[in-house]
Structure 1
Amino acid sequence: MKRLGLTLVAALCLAATTFAAGNQPTTAKWEGNINVTKLSQYLKLNAGQHEEVANICEYFDQQMERATKSRKDQEKLLRNAVYGNLKLMKQTLSEKQYADYTRVLNATLQNKGIEVK
């Protein structure tokens, strides 16, 4: 009976640890592979917007790489990179384009396992 109790406690602890680990925010390595041409086609950008978006994406890649390589203040740098990118894009894109872009960025970050609080 004692063994059964200890086995149940061990199983419960293992399940709790697994569940808690799944809820932790993660910051995977950023690979910086934004395809600006496809993004431009999806958002239907004009020539001026295309150039500006390309510059913003390049800057965003640099900021994300810096954030994911950082050992301290990683969450703060990650948050600043994402929200800085959104601020620059909002100035460049129309309302509809910006709404579409935020959906794409959110899906991309989720797919890479990056959570921004």
Structure 2
Amino acid sequence: MSIDDAPAVWAKVLDEEPWVPYEDPHLPGGDQAAQVKILAPNVFYAWFPPGYAAPEHSHPFNTTYHLVKGALRFGDEGWVRAGSVRGVRAGHVYGPEEADPAEGCEFLLVSDGPIGIDWAA
């Protein structure tokens, strides 16, 4: 579904949406795979398991992270913890992203356009 195909108004109940693995050859798979609930073309709810790491990357559109549970480290920027909001401009390379080694993290990712990843390496 593209943003143009999305309804003018929508609502989702997070507990009713299924977790699906986010498959990408640059990312851990299997038991260490990121899980997402795709709520709209530009809105994901994501879970990173404890110790999960994603390499340096950027997004083609401005993105906003709202950390709901746990913590996520963004390279040299340091840790962002539950209750925090972090924004990043389109094309800005950052990372690696590392989930809290004990509890992982859950966050809402909202993008100004369809969520995509451009890997730095």
TM-score of the superposed pair, with normalisation by structure 2 = 0.22
Higher helix share: 1
Higher strand share: 2
Structure showing greater Rg: 1
